[in-house]
Amino acid sequence: MTRAIRQISTLALILIVFCIACRLTLFQNYSAYIPIQENTDRRGPDGYELVVEQPDILDADGAEINKGYLRVEIRPERPGRTYVMLYDKDGTFVNLAPLYVGRFHTVYNASTGGFTGDVAVMIALTVFWLTVFMIMLWNYAQAKGSSFYAYSTIYFAGFSVFALVTGVLMLQITVLHLRDPYNYSMMTVYHVINSASIQFMMITMPLIVVFALAMGVSNIVLLRHEKPRIQNALGILIAAMLLAGEAIGFYLFTQDFSGSEWEVRTRETLINVAATVFVYFECMLAGSVVCGIKAAVHQPKKDKDYVIILGCWFRKDGSLPPLLRGRVDKALEFWNEQKAETGKEAVFIPSGGQGKNESMTEADAMKHYLLEQGIPEERIIPERAARNTFQNMEYSKQIIDRENARARTIFATTNYHVFRSGVWSNFAGLHAEGIGGKTKWWYWPNAFMRECVGLLQKRWKQELAFLVILLLFFGSLSVILG
């Protein structure tokens, strides 16, 4: 994550230098665009008269008539504020442009938001967002092995989509501005930047609606098979929140609003803040889904010394229920394939302590099953103290370090649990890859949602700080540019 931040910061610095260099070397003058009536644009520039309110501040000449506006070349003389007024040859007032000249002879057009060198800024913003997308995508692709199990991987997978959408919107506006600089002015660019969150919501709405409906259906099926409790209804709750968020966003996005400048800015700020919160969770959810699926289907190399099996509840008679048996069978499948391909026999570490009303430890229940499947007892080292996933990893690492500190290790769990287990594995210093056993299709989405919530819950302070930074950034844009 630190490397990506450095790359993005360096990119931003380079583009700022680029904009300054373009301003100093290429943009000495500024082109203003003053609207004219459609039926008078055949007169040509000579058919109009330009009057500068304070001619000592700037000089203006009509340069070109285009459909609906007159392009005026502005040459700044000294800092100040003035108006360039347009009259026809009959002396009838046509329109005006309020212009400011800064201390560095930069011209700002208050009517369009344009300024000296604005094209370079548009290009730089487009390049910035598209390059941020490529940086995130590259860092996501580089996350391999145990390094894949990290919060930064979720960020790269989720927020790269936001960067791509914003970059494509900026590219579209930049091209339109080059073709029609008056109708697609810097005000349009400000609007795109200011409303990036709500626009992202609208663009991704079809995907979110389909995802929410599919998750709701799977959760309803789950409730038919499992006991009705809050954990088993998580998918329905999240689906309802996603649909409600998109509905509210669509309503606000499509409503017209009139009022004073500050009333408009206040409304836009509130909408942008709400949209930013929704998009943050949307991107985190998307990143978690992508990372979870990739982790669940990953196939590690067949060169492992140890196979850790994460325990869970088992039956009173000591037999393994489908969920736990699926984990052990996945570990056995890997062990047998590795032995067939390389001849190497890994050591199993079934990990799990004894819970309430359990006749033995989870580790021993899994050991008995492994012995029944023909695994030699000397290839099994039970870990009998762990009470949660982190302890599974921590205590298993202690066993491995005593045996072979440089050993290559994998862990076996259920498919939806692989990514979060990998994160805990890295926290414990184990750095192992994971494999996932299958589970019922109707169980997977809801359980996976619990995994996503568990990941966020572990770092809620850091995630809250990151969200506050996003809110301050996009909320400030609404106040400044709204």
Angle at 216 between CA 234 and CA 212, to 5 degrees: 100
Of 77, 109, 141, the residue that ends a domain is 109
Question: Is the Cβ–Cβ distance between 149 and 295 less than 8 Å?
Answer: yes
- What confidence tens digit (pLDDT) does each residue in 183-200 have? 888 888 777 777 788 888
pLDDT of residue 364 exceeding 90, the answer is yes
219 or 171, greater pLDDT: 171
Examine residue 352 and state whether it is found in any structural domain, yes or no.
Answer: yes
Lowest mean pLDDT among 14-18, 77-81, 208-212, 217-221: 217-221
Examine residue 182 and state whether it is found in any structural domain, yes or no.
Answer: no
- SS3 state at 100: strand
User: pLDDT above 70 covers what percent of the chain?
Assistant: 93
Of 109, 137, 153, the residue that ends a domain is 109
Q: For the chain, what is the domain count?
A: 2
Question: Is the Cβ–Cβ distance between 221 and 236 less than 8 Å?
Answer: no
Find, among 394, 439, 437, 431, the residue nearest to 418 by Cα. Answer: 437
349 or 451, greater pLDDT: 349
CA 260 to CA 166: how far, in whole Å?
28
pLDDT of residue 482 exceeding 50, the answer is no
The boundaries of the domain holding residue 84 are 30-109
CA 18 to CA 101: how far, in whole Å?
22
pLDDT of residue 374: 93
pLDDT of residue 21 exceeding 80, the answer is yes
Examine residue 259 and state whether it is found in any structural domain, yes or no.
Answer: no
Most distant CA atoms of the chain, gap in Å: 105
CA 308 to CA 328: how far, in whole Å?
10
Check residue 383 and report its DSSP letter.
Answer: B
- What confidence tens digit (pLDDT) does each residue in 281-318 have? 888 888 888 898 899 999 999 999 999 999 988 888 88
CATH classification at residue 330: 3.40.50.620
Phi, then psi, of 439 in degrees rounded to 5: -145, 170
Long-range contacts of 425-431 (CB under 8 A, 24+ apart): 425/146, 425/149, 425/393, 426/146, 426/147, 426/149, 426/150, 427/390, 427/393, 428/390, 428/393, 428/394, 428/397, 429/397, 430/146, 430/393, 430/394, 430/396, 430/397, 430/400, 431/145, 431/146
Question: Is the Cβ–Cβ distance between 413 and 327 less than 8 Å?
Answer: yes
Examine residue 334 and state whether it is found in any structural domain, yes or no.
Answer: yes
pLDDT of residue 41 exceeding 60, the answer is no
CA 294 to CA 275: how far, in whole Å?
28
CA 308 to CA 392: how far, in whole Å?
8
Average pLDDT of every residue of the chain: 85
CA 151 to CA 113: how far, in whole Å?
39
Compute the average pLDDT of residues 452-475: 72
Examine residue 84 and state whether it is found in any structural domain, yes or no.
Answer: yes
Place of tokens 């006991």: 227
Examine residue 227 and state whether it is found in any structural domain, yes or no.
Answer: no
Of 94, 109, 124, the residue that ends a domain is 109
CA 410 to CA 277: how far, in whole Å?
37
The H-or-E segment that residue 403 falls in is: helix 389-404
Compute the average pLDDT of residues 28-46: 69
Question: Is the Cβ–Cβ distance between 29 and 59 less than 8 Å?
Answer: no
Question: Is the Cβ–Cβ distance between 470 and 272 less than 8 Å?
Answer: no
Examine residue 118 and state whether it is found in any structural domain, yes or no.
Answer: no
pTM over 0.85, yes/no: no
Compute the average pLDDT of residues 242-254: 86
